[in-house]
Structure 1
Amino acid sequence: MRALLNVILLALQLYTYLIVASAILSWLVAFNVVNTRNNFVRSIWNFLDAVTEPVLRPIRSILPNLGGVDISPIILILLIIFIQNLIVDYLMPIAF
């Protein structure tokens, strides 16, 4: 049971890194630092969008319009941290 919880914690941590990478890449594209016409950049962009967008879309639909500011990745990261803390504090001590 403990090994399964460690795998879940690792997956949540990796997903957090993917969210941060997606946010940074979106900034780089918005400020025209990287070009999405490059095949490598486009493939990374499509991968990160396919992985993070299904989770971020429901959060964006709940949040009010804040203009050009998108805080949905921050809310998702806070939610992931909350889930990780629940696992560590409540499930790990009872897992043998």
Structure 2
Amino acid sequence: MISLIQILLLVLNVVWFFVIAHVIMSWLISFQVLNLHQQFVAQVWYGLNRLLEPLYTPIRKILPPMGGIDLAPLAVLLAIIAIRIVISNNFGIY
């Protein structure tokens, strides 16, 4: 059972990293530090979008439009923190 919990925590950590990387890349693209015309940057950007859109889409349906501000990544990060808290409180490992 402990192994399954550790695997779940590992998956949550990987998703956390991907969301943070996606947010940082979106800022860098918005401020034109990164350019989507570069092949590597475009591949990473579209790969992260394809991985994270299934997480963002249901949240975007619930959250009201904020005038260009996307709060879906923040909601995903808060959900990951909440899941970690539930796991650590109920199973006593962390």
**TM-score class normalised by the smaller sequence:** over 0.9
Flag the structure with more relative contact order, 1 or 2, with Cα contacts below 8 A and sequence separation at least 6: 1
Q: How does 1:15-26 map to 2 (within 5 A)?
A: 15-26=15-26
Q: TM-score, normalised by structure 2?
A: 0.92
Unaligned runs of at least 5 residues, structure 2: none
State the Cα deviation string for residues 39-71 of structure 1 (Å, max 9, x = none). 100110011111111100110111011101111
User: What displacement does 1:72 show?
Assistant: 1.1
Extract unaligned runs of 5+ from structure 1: none
Aligned ranges 1:1-96 → 2 under 5 Å: 1-90=1-90, 92-93=91-92
For residues 24 and 60 of structure 1, what CA distance do their matches in structure 2 show? 19
Query: 2:70 & 2:85 partners in 1: Cα distance?
Result: 25
| Structure 2 CA distance for aligned equivalents of residues 26 and 5 of structure 1 | 31
Question: Structure 1 residue runs of 4+, over 2 Å off?
Answer: none
State the number of aligned residues: 93
* 3-state SS in 2 of match to 1:37: coil
